[in-house]
């Protein structure tokens, strides 16, 4: 029923992998390589499935759904148990707010395509591209650390896993890739230490994917 077009290191694909695992939903992975040959996400077949030429795409009986948070909401509506959103309206809003801090506040500014464009449009060198990504990750994760001070329990909002946790884990992985000083984010690290032990998170890790590379 579900096919996920995914890349092992794509943080947005990773969020959806955790959700599918958490809800016990079987799915087939179709790897799309973001680098090989200029990026398979730009091929016409993938473009037809998602004109933004991004990952993930979840195929639902062949219908392509893109944008990870839209896909998470879809899975939550179709498979409400186990839940990835709380029941109380303000807490649901808070989960979505924290998720968007990552989804719209960090990830769009630090991904590969943006770094490439800094080079293409302004001749920015590799190291300065990485400093750019680091800046936006630090800016967003500092805000998330503060927000979690109000809402956090064992997870980002309370004690149950939500969308916010699915966004946090891949973003912390990227933070380390860009040498962000994550030790300044003690609340997020404490939550991370609990989440990464959960089977849904273990199975969704990049290293566990069929297209994983060393």
Tell me the HSE value of 170 on the side-chain side, using a 13 A CA sphere.
29
**Strand, coil or helix: 182:** helix
Looking at residue 65, the DSSP 8-state letter turns out to be E
Binding test (CB under 8 A) with a copy of itself, winner from 131, 189, 196, 212: 131
Q: Is 2 in the site for a copy of itself (CB under 8 A)?
A: no
Q: Is position 43 an interface residue for a copy of itself (rule: CB under 8 A)?
A: no
Tell me if 124 contacts a copy of itself by CB under 8 A: yes
Q: Does 6 bind a copy of itself (CB under 8 A)?
A: no
CA distances from residue 101 to 42, 69, 96, 143, 183 in whole angstroms, order as listed: 27, 12, 9, 8, 19
Max Cα separation, the chain?
49
Q: Which stretch binds a copy of itself (CB under 8 A): 3-11, 31-39, 94-102, 189-197?
A: 94-102
Question: Minimum Å distance from CB 214 to a copy of itself?
Answer: 30
Interface of this chain with a copy of itself, residues 101 to 120, rule: CB under 8 A = 101, 103-105, 107-109, 114, 117-118
Contacting residue, 26, 37, 45, 51, with a copy of itself by CB under 8 A: 51
What is the dihedral angle through the alpha carbons of 29, 30, 35, 41, rounded to the nearest 10 degrees? -120
Number of CB atoms found within 10 A of residue 169's CB: 22
Helix (H, G, I), strand (E, B) or coil at 5: strand
**Residue closer to a copy of itself, measured from CB, 73 or 211:** 73
3-state secondary structure of 63: strand
Q: Which stretch binds a copy of itself (CB under 8 A): 13-21, 35-43, 132-140, 194-202?
A: 132-140
User: By three-state DSSP, how is residue 30 classified?
Assistant: strand
Site of interaction with a copy of itself (CB under 8 A): 51-54, 60, 63, 65-67, 69-71, 73-74, 77-78, 89-90, 92-94, 96-97, 99-101, 103-105, 107-109, 114, 117-118, 121-122, 124, 128, 131-132, 135, 140, 142-143, 146-147
């Amino acid at each position: 029923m579900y096919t996920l077009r995914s890349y092992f290191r794509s943080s947005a694909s990773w969020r959806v992998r955790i959700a599918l695992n958490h809800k016990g939903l079987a799915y087939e992975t179709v790897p799309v390589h973001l680098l090989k040959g200029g990026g398979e996400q730009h091929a016409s077949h993938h473009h037809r499935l998602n004109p933004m030429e991004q990952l993930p795409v979840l195929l639902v009986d062949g219908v392509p759904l893109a944008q990870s948070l839209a896909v998470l909401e879809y899975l939550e509506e179709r498979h409400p148990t186990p839940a990835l959103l709380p029941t109380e309206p303000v807490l649901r809003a808070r989960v979505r707010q924290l998720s968007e801090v990552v989804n719209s506040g960090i990830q769009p500014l630090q991904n590969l395509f943006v770094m490439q464009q800094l080079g293409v449009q302004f001749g920015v060198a590799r190291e300065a591209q990485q400093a750019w990504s680091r800046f936006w990750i630090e800016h967003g994760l500092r805000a998330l650390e503060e927000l979690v001070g109000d809402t956090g329990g064992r997870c980002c909002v309370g004690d149950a896993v939500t969308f916010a946790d699915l966004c946090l884990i891949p973003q912390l992985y990227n933070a380390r890739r860009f040498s962000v000083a994550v030790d300044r984010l003690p609340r997020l690290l404490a939550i991370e230490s609990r989440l990464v032990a959960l089977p849904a998170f273990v199975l969704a890790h990049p290293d566990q994917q069929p297209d994983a590379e060393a």
